[in-house]
């Protein structure tokens, strides 16, 4: 029997605790900016008919337009199978290969065109231009190595821990050619974090590089592979082979020794596969293409599983119509391929459209804040894509810098965190020279591609707002009680998506139950329902919708902190702190930061009889860097005599967050230990 009441939640409710007043103070409604006529004249999508064609009553048929951008070995029989909610199956019966679509199919027309411009961080080092033909050759040879030297086949998982070099997309595409599921771990993550992901995905092979440049120094990266293999072994998992690319082919650039029989220099082994060509493996549309681990509300990251057909169709369509990529464009997304943005919008989307995609090795402000604009000028980049954190950092380091360069962007993207209207306007006026359109794209690792954004050739832009759902995406905002907020109400609530879409992840690797509870249970009115309309996807973000239909994303409603556009779970950092023997309890809170948006502060209490010291605080910080990586390093580790607690013993993170952000902690008299608050304030000074 249909039950119309929202599901009762046994776990702690996640609610939007951002008041309307706060929103009003921070960001008032901004005026519109219009795309230039020159942009519209060349744009891939200007016909408003798309908005009608992609209305909810036409769902899911309109998604065939996405899949039709790809080459299929066999056309799908069913666009969407909803028989087992919320495990949606897209393009069922279709057969496809992602590598074929990103490489082989472009050879006839574009083989001499650059597919990847690899820009080393060291500015005097030559840029490498990898043509589609060269990409084809290198992907084939590496695929042969994976198949014949490593014995990998469709469905096996491989962990990649690679920096931003051309060999990373080459390795991903080689996996895709075989149907091997790649799991790329952000190179800035620690060896231990890499191990956790290799263990969870049961990868027998780890692909890495000896070294790479970051902020002016050549970092030893191979040492992390040794840690990863050793830590995986502690968890009972054996990594058989470590494949090591050389940053400078022919020269080993790491001081770390090779382990005989386990470590192999890719450049050496590849010699056996010279000239090898492999037919792309025909795979079902719903076979997994890759796993991307991301942080959630527990101590363990979750492996988001993305499909071949649905995912590739989604990123190709959005790259073409939201990024406005044409084959002749030079496109630069400054994200790291170790995050979903890089997978979708450096590798798969742009290459499926035969564009030239820039892969930049290092930090944007190295050696100075003019670097990105010099690269853009040199390569004639006309589409640029980055995060608010990078924009804020470039603005602070060199507000006048972009004006000195002769670059011309037609289109710019911002992604990953809310962008303040002043920062948006600097991006628009100074970086884009008031000529480029901007899209503020809201989405998540789980989603595969954009959810909310303006269509650049159709909609006006509004600083601080992502825009409406993209064509085909139908968002809705619910309040904490499960009531739908009226459209355009300007009230804050939990943003959800009413309909499935092909880019959405298929499941959490080895944890389908968590997939259901985390994203669907809260607003599903009837868990027995076979009707997709009963299964809105809950994103975990607070949002408001203005009267014009544009959404403004307010930030996470759960225990996730968005640091510089990268997602960190507070529980993961807390678990890392608890690996230090002296630590009794740990609590992480987000602190506002002028550049990175948010940074973590870590509060710890010690086991009885132990004294706080700088050395101990450093040890805790070191443990976080070991377990996760430098991006999770707390701004401060505050050692407190006790945590502020409710009478039932729950840590009141709200009080700690107020202290870290120099705000009033409010009424603390109901705490079990109100006297500790002053002591914590003292310790945090
Ligand atoms: C979280 C997802 C896939 C993009 C890279 C981050 C926040 C993302 C925006 C935006 C405001 C944004 C949300 C979201 N976010 N884009 N345009 N405006 N907030 O992917 O690591 O999975 O993080 O990033 O809070 O839930 P992610």
Does the beta carbon of 207 lie inside 6 Å of ligand 1?
no
Does the beta carbon of 208 lie inside 6 Å of ligand 1?
no
pLDDT at 488 over 50: yes
pLDDT at 14: 57
82-96: average pLDDT: 98
Q: Where is pLDDT greater, at 670 or 431?
A: 431
pLDDT at 87: 98
Does the beta carbon of 416 lie inside 6 Å of ligand 1?
yes
8 Å CB contact between 130 and 324:
no
8 Å CB contact between 170 and 143:
no
pLDDT mean across residues, the chain? 95
Does the beta carbon of 656 lie inside 6 Å of ligand 1?
no
Does the beta carbon of 417 lie inside 6 Å of ligand 1?
yes
pLDDT at 6: 37
pLDDT at 464 over 50: yes
406-416: average pLDDT: 97
Does the beta carbon of 556 lie inside 6 Å of ligand 1?
yes
3-state secondary structure of 90: strand
567-587: average pLDDT: 95
Does the beta carbon of 301 lie inside 6 Å of ligand 1?
no
Q: Give residue for tokens 């690996």.
A: 579
pLDDT at 330 over 90: yes
Does the beta carbon of 420 lie inside 6 Å of ligand 1?
no
Q: Could you identify the atom of ligand 1 that is nearest to the CA of residue 344? A: 3
Q: How confident is the model at residue 302 (pLDDT cuts 50, 70, 90)?
A: very high
3-state secondary structure of 301: coil
Does the beta carbon of 203 lie inside 6 Å of ligand 1?
no
CA distances from 541 to 122, 123, 365, 554 (A): 38, 39, 30, 7
Does the beta carbon of 574 lie inside 6 Å of ligand 1?
no
Q: What is the pLDDT of residues 125-153, one digit of tens each?
A: 999 999 999 999 999 999 999 999 999 99
DSSP string, 520-579: TTTT-S-TT---GGG-PEEEEEEEEE-TTS-EEEEEESSSEEEETTEEEEHHHHHHHHTT
pLDDT at 477: 97
pLDDT at 5 over 50: no
53-62: average pLDDT: 98
Q: What is the pLDDT of residues 638-677, one digit of tens each?
A: 999 999 998 888 999 999 999 999 999 988 998 999 999 9
The dihedral of CA 531, 532, 533, 538: what is its sign? positive
Q: Could you identify the atom of ligand 1 that is nearest to the CA of residue 419? A: 18
Contacts of residue 625, Cβ cutoff 8 Å, sequence gap at least 6: 190, 632, 633
Task: Compute the distance between CA of residue 44 and CA of residue 455 in angstroms, rounded to an integer.
Answer: 10
Q: What's the gap in Å between 443 CA and the centre of ligand 1? A: 5
pLDDT at 559: 87
The dihedral of CA 48, 50, 51, 52: what is its sign? positive
Q: What is the pLDDT of residues 374-409, one digit of tens each?
A: 999 999 999 999 999 999 999 999 999 999 999 999
- What pTM was computed for the model? 0.94
Q: Could you identify the atom of ligand 1 that is nearest to the CA of residue 443? A: 3
Q: Which residue CA neighbors atom 14 of ligand 1 most closely?
A: 444
pLDDT at 606: 97
pLDDT at 568 over 60: yes
The dihedral of CA 78, 80, 84, 87: what is its sign? positive
Kindly report the backbone phi and psi dihedral angles of residue 263, in degrees, each rounded to the nearest multiple of 5, phi listed first. -95, 135
480-495: average pLDDT: 93
Does the beta carbon of 440 lie inside 6 Å of ligand 1?
yes
Q: What's the gap in Å between 478 CA and the centre of ligand 1? A: 19
Q: What is the pLDDT of residues 543-558, one digit of tens each?
A: 999 999 999 998 888 8
pLDDT at 684: 94
213-233: average pLDDT: 98
Q: Could you identify the atom of ligand 1 that is nearest to the CA of residue 466? A: 17
Q: Which residue CA neighbors atom 3 of ligand 1 most closely?
A: 444
pLDDT at 178 over 50: yes
Does the beta carbon of 388 lie inside 6 Å of ligand 1?
no
pLDDT at 311 over 70: yes
Task: Compute the distance between CA of residue 487 and CA of residue 105 in angstroms, rounded to an integer.
Answer: 43
pLDDT at 536 over 50: yes
Q: Which residue CA neighbors atom 21 of ligand 1 most closely?
A: 567
3-state secondary structure 20-72: HHHHHHHCCCCCCECCCHHHHHHCCCCCCHHHHHCCHHHCCHHHHHHHCCCCC
Q: Could you identify the atom of ligand 1 that is nearest to the CA of residue 440? A: 17
Q: What's the gap in Å between 182 CA and the centre of ligand 1? A: 22
């Amino acid at each position: 029997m249909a039950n119309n009441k929202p599901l009762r939640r046994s776990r702690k409710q996640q609610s939007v605790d951002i008041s309307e007043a706060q929103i009003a103070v921070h960001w008032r409604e901004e005026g519109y900016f219009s795309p230039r006529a020159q942009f519209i004249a060349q744009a891939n999508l200007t016909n408003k008919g798309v908005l009608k064609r992609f209305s909810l009553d036409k769902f899911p048929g309109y998604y065939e337009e996405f899949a039709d951008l790809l080459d299929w070995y066999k056309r799908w029989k069913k666009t969407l199978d909803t028989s087992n909610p919320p495990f949606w199956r897209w393009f069922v019966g279709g057969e496809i290969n992602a590598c074929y679509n990103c490489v082989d199919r472009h050879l006839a027309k574009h083989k001499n065109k650059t597919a990847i411009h690899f820009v080393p961080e060291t500015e005097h080092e030559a840029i490498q231009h990898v043509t589609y033909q060269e990409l084809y050759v290198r992907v084939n040879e590496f695929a042969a190595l994976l198949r014949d030297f490593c014995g990998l086949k469709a469905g096996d998982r491989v962990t990649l821990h690679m920096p931003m070099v051309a060999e990373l997309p080459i390795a991903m595409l080689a996996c895709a050619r075989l149907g091997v599921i790649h799991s790329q771990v952000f190179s800035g993550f620690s060896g231990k974090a890499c191990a956790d992901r290799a263990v969870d995905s049961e990868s027998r092979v780890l692909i890495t590089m000896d070294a790479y440049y970051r902020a002016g120094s050549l970092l030893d990266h191979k040492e992390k592979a040794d840690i990863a293999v050793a830590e995986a072994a502690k968890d009972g998992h054996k990594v058989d082979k470590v494949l090591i690319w050389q940053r400078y082919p022919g020269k080993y650039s790491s001081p770390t020794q090779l382990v005989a029989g386990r470590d192999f220099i890719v450049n050496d082994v590849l010699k056996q596969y010279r000239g090898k060509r492999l037919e792309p493996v025909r795979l079902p549309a719903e076979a997994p293409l890759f796993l991307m681990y991301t942080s959630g509300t527990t101590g363990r990251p979750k492996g988001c599983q993305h499909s071949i057909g649905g995912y590739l169709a989604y990123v190709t369509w959005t790259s073409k119509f939201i990024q406005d990529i044409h084959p002749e464009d030079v496109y630069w997304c400054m994200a790291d391929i170790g995050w979903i943005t890089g997978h979708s919008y450096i590798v798969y989307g742009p290459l499926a459209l035969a564009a030239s995609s820039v892969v930049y090795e290092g930090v944007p402000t190295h050696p100075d804040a003019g670097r990105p604009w010099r690269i853009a000028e040199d390569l004639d980049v006309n589409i640029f894509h980055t995060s608010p954190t990078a924009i804020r950092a470039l603005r602070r380091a060199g507000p006048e810098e972009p004006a000195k360069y002769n670059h011309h962007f037609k289109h710019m993207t911002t992604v990953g965190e809310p962008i303040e209207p002043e920062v948006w306007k600097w991006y628009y006026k100074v970086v884009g020279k008031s000529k480029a359109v901007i899209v503020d794209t809201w989405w998540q690792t789980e989603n595969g591609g954009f959810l909310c954004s303006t269509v650049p050739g159709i909609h006006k832009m509004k600083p601080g707002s992502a825009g409406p759902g993209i064509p085909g995406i139908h968002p809705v905002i619910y309040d904490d009680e499960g009531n739908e907020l009226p459209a355009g109400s300007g009230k804050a609530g939990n943003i959800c998506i009413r309909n499935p879409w092909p880019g959405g992840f298929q499941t959490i690797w080895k944890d389908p139950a968590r997939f259901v509870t985390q994203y669907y249970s809260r607003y599903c009115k009837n868990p027995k329902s076979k009707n997709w309309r009963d299964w809105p996807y809950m994103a975990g973000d607070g949002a408001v919708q203005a009267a014009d239909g544009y959404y403004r994303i307010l930030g996470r409603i759960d225990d996730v902190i968005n640091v510089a556009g990268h997602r960190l779970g507070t529980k993961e950092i807390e678990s890392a702190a608890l690996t230090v023997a002296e630590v009794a309890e740990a609590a992480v809170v987000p602190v506002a930061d002028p550049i990175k948006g948010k940074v973590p502060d870590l509060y710890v209490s010690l086991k009885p009889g132990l004294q706080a010291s700088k050395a101990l605080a450093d040890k805790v910080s070191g443990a976080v860097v070991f377990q996760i990586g430098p991006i999770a390093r707390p701004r401060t580790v505050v050692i407190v005599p006790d945590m502020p607690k409710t009478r039932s013993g729950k840590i009141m993170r709200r009080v700690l967050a107020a202290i870290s952000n120099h705000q009033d902690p409010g009424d603390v008299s109901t705490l079990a230990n109100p006297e500790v608050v002053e002591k914590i304030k003292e310790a945090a000074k």
